[in-house]
Amino acid sequence: MTVDDGAPRVMILNGPNLGRLGVREPEVYGHASMADLELAAAEWAGGLGLEVQVRQTDDESALVGWLHEAVDGRSHVVLNPAAFTHYSYALRDAAAQVTTSGLLLVEVHLSNPAARESFRHYSVVAGIATGTVAGFGFDSYRLALEAVHNKLSG
């Protein structure tokens, strides 16, 4: 048996078009970039005693692979599935493996999809997530990390 007494690991995974943050519809998603999110996340995680990694891909299979990696490496997940939120059953099934293996998965959104176009109202991921934070810009990620920290400390 191995004993892992390091800081809890959290993978912050981001789906398609989120690499365009700062340029893409700034009135909806803000002016800050994915690089800015990486810096902010490292700072928040440091304060919470978490070890974070931020990744982004436009590729569904890469995102599915990273969720498998999270399960195998016992990493909690903060997931912004972007448009995959609304239709990717493959992503949903991969995300379900995170929570059914006893790890936390927080679904996050910068915007509040429920207040936008109707195709954004349904999330295929929400039903298997530990919880969801939406509508607070970068603060959605900060709140998600705090929720992970609080749940692990609880």
To which residue do tokens 């900060």 refer? 142
Q: Does 125 bind ligand DQA (CB under 6 A)?
A: no
- Of residues 78, 103, 110, 143, which one binds ligand DQA by CB under 6 A? 110
Strand order from edge to edge, sheet including 9-14: 51-56, 9-14, 76-80, 105-109, 131-134
- Of residues 63, 71, 113, 129, which one binds ligand DQA by CB under 6 A? 113
- CB 19 → ligand DQA: shortest distance, Å? 11
Q: Does 85 bind ligand DQA (CB under 6 A)?
A: yes
Task: Answer yes or no: 149 catalytic.
Answer: no
CA distance 26 to 50: 29
CA distance 33 to 40: 11
Which parts of this chain interact with ligand DQA (CB under 6 A)? 17, 80, 82-83, 85, 109-111, 113, 120
